[in-house]
Amino acid sequence: MDVNIVKKHTEGTPLAVIVPKNATAKSLADYPLTKDEISYVAKRLKTDGKTLDLSVMDCKKYVVVCDSEKPEKLRNAANSVCTKLAAAKKEKITVFCEDKKSALTFLEGLLLSAYKFDKYKTEKPSTINVVNLWVKGLKQSDITPLRNLCDSVCEARNWVNEPIMVLNADAFANILQKEAVELGIDVKVLKQKQIESLKMGGLLGVNRGSVDEARFITMEWKPKNAVNKKPIALVGKGIMYDTGGLNIKTSDYMYDMKSDMAGAATMAATLFAVAKNQLPVHVVVLIPATDNRPCGNAYANGDILRMYDGTMVEVVNTDAEGRLILADAIAYANRFKPQVIVDAATLTGAAERAIGKYGIVAMHQDAAETMEQIKRAGDEVYERIAEFPFWEEYGELIKSDVADIKNSGAGPHAGMITAGKFVAHFAKAPFVHLDIAGVAFADKSYGIYGKGATGFGVRLLYRWLEGMAKK
């Protein structure tokens, strides 16, 4: 998408006019609205009492009422405008706003709403591809960081939307390696024999049923002016496709399982946004990548795996595979002596059932301050966190009779917490667990996220790291 700064409106281009919720007819006198439109808007503001409303004046002009205290509604208004323009096959828009912050929030909504995964469509759907910003005092340097972040969100969406026949572990590793090098990020891709030499039993165990080799990817952004003495370690679950293994999923539950690597996509995209915008934060990303198949010599219930840190794990469910590969990656992350380890994973159906598509289920181990920071960042970008208890009693549910621990808790209760307890076992630093199962992939459009991969979590983690950089 082209984003331009302009000083006037081009006739024939749809126009979105953003007005404050406390606007009056007098204060709107210099806005690009007719007298009748100003009268209409002032009356609506006075009588409706709504904090945000989208009113279609005609097929070429939209009035967006902005409540600066509720930016998510402004983003969703941008989505509504984007949807209407696509239906009318309009691909350009001019945005008039007197407040830079509101203009950028609206632009964010447009950039994320305009995304289409149309790579495999013969006829491409219409969407906005040119935005002209008519905003006093706005500079290109104000726009670039937001563009970089939104581009990274959309990149994460692309990875998650790609089918496994195109994006297996090796292909994903190659893409990440190429971009990391271009951005000045130190990157290492460990192949099968190297993973075997490290004795990563979780990653290797899950990979046994696949004809494709596993990959273990580490990426490190370490600027000279980093504000943190110890790195932040971000770990992302990279199950490129999940059949459930020998505990095979039914077809309905397998439809969107190309999205089971959304945690890996989230962490990689966050790091790329950090590097593009040159944030002075030392960050390490670790991604274990494989698919989970019931083929060949697939691992089975009753198997006992020796993890990278030596922990012996009893397999009681081959569909609880994500936590096995995360365990090796989290244990490996300890080598960096991180300030905190944060993982993101489409880990449990229990998380989705608990709070649906409206937020991330999270818990922490010795990381209360980091959890509060992430929750605040989530509120700011409206990618909210629901913190769950992490009482020690939940750890009792993953104890094994024949090994140190087992890869699934007892029964259907608190599944997202027992899964969190499992991965937390391997962290020797403060640890935050983010279960993004409910938000990573949408079966229908909602707000700025659209149908399919959402990129949920990238803006959240970037905002957290950005806040750290500004301290």
Residues 117-134 have pLDDT tens digits of 999 999 999 999 999 999
- Under DSSP, the state recorded for 258 is G
Residue 415 covered by a domain: yes
**Sequence-distant contacts of 181-184: CB under 8 A, at least 24 apart:** 183/272, 183/275, 183/276, 184/221, 184/275
Tokens describing residue 4: 């331009």
Q: Which residues have CB under 8 Å from 279's CB, separation 6+?
A: 223, 465, 466, 469
Q: CA angle, corner 302, sides to 298 and 304, nearest 5?
A: 80
If asked whether residues 131 and 156 sit together in one domain, one would say no
Helix (H) or strand (E) holding 287: strand 283-292
Question: Looking up tokens 């999270």, which residue turns up?
Answer: 362
Q: Which of 21, 147, 249, 306 is catalytic?
A: 249
Q: Is residue 372 part of a domain?
A: yes
Q: Are residues 152 and 83 in the same domain?
A: no
Distance CA 386, CA 434 (A): 10
Given a contact cutoff of 8 angstroms between Cβ atoms, the answer to whether 135 and 95 are in contact is: yes
Q: Can you tell me the distance from the alpha carbon of 234 to that of 227, in angstroms, rounded to the nearest whole number? A: 17
For residue 261 the two structure tokens come to 């690597």
440's tokens: 């990573």
Residue 253 belongs to a domain: yes
In a domain, 143, yes or no: no
CA-based angle 117:121:125, to the nearest 5?
A: 70
Tell me, what CATH number does 76's domain have?
3.40.220.10
Longest CA span, the chain: 79
| Same domain as 103, residue 239 | no
- 249 catalytically annotated: yes
400: helix, strand or coil: coil
Domain end point (choices 114, 136, 158):
136
| Residue 391 CB contacts under 8 Å (≥ 6 apart), including other chains | none
Domain identity same for 124 and 176:
no
How many Å apart are CA 396 and CA 400, to the nearest integer?
9
User: Do residue 124 and residue 261 come from a single domain?
Assistant: no
Residues 362 and 405 grouped into a single domain: yes
Say if 445 falls within a structural domain: yes
Nearest 5°: phi and psi at 80? -65, -45
Q: Structure tokens of 208?
A: 């046994």
Residue 141 lies in a domain: no
Q: Which of 157, 215, 323, 459 is catalytic?
A: 323
pLDDT in tens, the chain (471 residues): 999 999 999 888 999 999 998 899 999 999 998 898 888 888 888 876 554 344 445 557 888 888 778 899 999 999 999 998 998 899 999 999 999 999 999 999 999 999 999 999 999 999 999 999 999 999 999 999 999 999 999 999 999 999 999 999 999 999 999 999 999 999 999 999 999 999 999 999 999 999 999 999 999 999 999 999 999 999 999 999 999 999 999 878 898 999 999 999 999 999 999 999 999 999 999 999 999 999 999 999 999 999 999 999 999 999 999 999 999 999 999 999 999 999 999 999 999 999 999 999 999 999 999 999 999 999 999 999 999 999 999 999 999 999 999 999 867 789 999 999 999 999 999 999 999 999 999 999 889 998 999 999 999 999 999 999 987
Q: Which domain holds residue 383?
A: 148-470
Q: Is 140 exposed, middle or buried (0-12, 13-18, 19+ CB in 10 A)?
A: exposed
Report the C-alpha gap between 181 and 450 in whole angstroms.
31
Same domain, 385 and 364: yes
* The pLDDT of residue 59: 53
Confirm whether 155 is domain-assigned: yes
Among residues 106, 136, 166, which one ends one of the domains? 136
Domain count of the fold of the chain: 2
Q: Which of the 8 DSSP states describes residue 9?
A: P
**403 and 446 both lie in a single domain:** yes
State whether 57 and 77 are in the same domain: yes
The token pair that represents 306 in the structure block: 């020796």
Using the 3D structure, point to which of 104, 136, 168 is the last residue of a domain. 136
